[in-house]
């Protein structure tokens, strides 16, 4: 996708640089034939070890005099359904602080162009139509299971829009669906659906029973993290794309049970061992969004889900001792 020559490279800061999407961006820029070593060195990947983004003083002091030109803001307090359900207050508070501090630092230090990551879970639980588009983010309340995180991300969209309106900045909001891939967070309690159940199945592969949570009936769209990283870089460096909010997804939608069965096949596990623990919440049953705007702005070749899941599991096994879990 990044098959255009970058005429100039600015100094770019990536928050959440040690996470799944940040590491996929690293892979892309390190392997891209259009980038020289000096170009790659202009990317600065931040982690929580570099600066506490919830602390305003720390953030403003860190960004001062760094002379960053562009930002890719990926950092967030994020987790799967059950983390959101258990911590809506903390999820709202920490993410509001992170986004407010980062935007203020951008404003005070001349960072006028950037990508800010939202999530499709911010969309209404009971929308007026499906598929939902970019105009519907604030239409009605999000699902109660993750309203803390969802409202914080909705406020990020509002903040970016107001900075763009008041100061002429180019802050794009990108809205990915359920991301998965290499470098994911494979925590058994607080991870997202795919990495969490992949890890659980891996540990339980010799057991008589394999467990999945909920009914398996919710519908979801998925996006391979490397595809999302490519989209981010394309938008960041293509100044012909109007400043706006852009949903990032393909049009395929799957029941959760279909994904579970795909994983069992990939991991060579028997479906006969599978037991659904229906006492666990399903979360939102449907949150289908459209990629119509995305495809009107750029060509995207999405990674096939089966291929992406296979690559993810192979990477998971090869790097098990060092993965985030």
Helix (H) or strand (E) holding 293: helix 292-297
Residue 127 in tokens: 């929308």
CA 205 to chain centre: 28
Instruction: Give the integer Cα–Cα distance in Å for 227 and 182.
Output: 12
Instruction: Give the integer Cα–Cα distance in Å for 252 and 236.
Output: 26
Instruction: List residues bridging with 275 in a β-sheet.
Output: 211
Which residue segments constitute the domains of the chain, with CATH numbers given?
Answer: 12-183+221-251+288-303 (3.40.50.720)
Instruction: Give the integer Cα–Cα distance in Å for 87 and 145.
Output: 10
Instruction: Give the integer Cα–Cα distance in Å for 230 and 27.
Output: 10
Largest CA distance in the chain: 61
Q: Residues 316, 321, 323, 324: is their CA dihedral positive or negative?
A: positive
Instruction: Give the integer Cα–Cα distance in Å for 206 and 135.
Output: 48
Residue 85 in tokens: 């359900």
Active site residues: 149
**Tens place of pLDDT per residue across the chain (325 aa):** 554 445 456 899 999 999 999 999 999 999 875 576 767 889 999 999 999 999 999 999 999 999 999 999 999 998 776 676 777 899 999 999 999 999 999 999 999 999 999 999 999 999 999 999 999 999 999 999 899 999 999 999 999 999 999 999 999 999 999 999 999 999 998 889 999 999 999 999 999 999 999 999 999 999 999 999 999 999 999 999 999 999 999 989 999 999 999 999 999 999 999 999 999 989 899 999 999 999 999 999 999 999 999 999 999 999 999 999 9
């Amino acid at each position: 996708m990044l098959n255009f020559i970058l005429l100039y490279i600015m100094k770019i800061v990536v928050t959440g640089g040690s996470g799944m999407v940040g590491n996929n961006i690293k892979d892309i820029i390190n392997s891209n034939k259009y980038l020289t070593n000096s170009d790659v060195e202009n990317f600065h990947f931040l982690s929580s070890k570099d600066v506490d983004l919830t602390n305003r003083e720390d953030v403003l002091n860190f960004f001062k005099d760094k002379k960053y030109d562009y930002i890719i803001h990926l950092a967030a307090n994020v987790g799967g359904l059950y983390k959101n359900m258990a911590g809506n207050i903390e999820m709202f508070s920490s993410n509001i602080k992170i986004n407010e501090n980062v935007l203020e630092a951008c404003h005070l230090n001349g960072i006028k162009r950037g990508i800010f990551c939202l999530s499709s879970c911010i969309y209404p639980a009971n929308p007026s139509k499906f598929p939902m588009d970019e105009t519907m983010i604030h239409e009605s309340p999000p699902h109660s299971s993750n309203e803390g995180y969802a409202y914080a991300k909705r406020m990020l969209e509002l903040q970016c829009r107001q900075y763009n309106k008041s100061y002429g900045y180019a802050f794009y909001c990108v809205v990915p669906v359920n991301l998965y891939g290499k470098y994911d967070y494979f925590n058994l309690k607080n991870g997202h659906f795919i990495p969490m159940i992949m890890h659980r199945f891996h540990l339980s592969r010799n057991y008589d029973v394999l467990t999945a949570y909920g009914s398996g009936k919710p519908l979801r769209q998925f996006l391979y993290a490397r595809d999302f990283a490519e989209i981010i870089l394309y938008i960041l460096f293509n100044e012909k794309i109007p400043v706006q909010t852009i949903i990032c997804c393909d049009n395929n939608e799957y029941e959760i049970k279909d994904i579970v069965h795909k994983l069992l096949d990939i991991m060579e596990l028997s479906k006969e061992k599978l037991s659904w623990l229906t006492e666990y919440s399903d979360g939102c049953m449907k949150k289908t969004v459209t990629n119509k705007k995305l495809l009107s702005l750029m060509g995207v070749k999405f990674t096939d889900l089966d291929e992406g899941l296979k690559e993810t599991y192979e990477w998971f096994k090869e790097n098990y001792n060092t993965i985030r879990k």
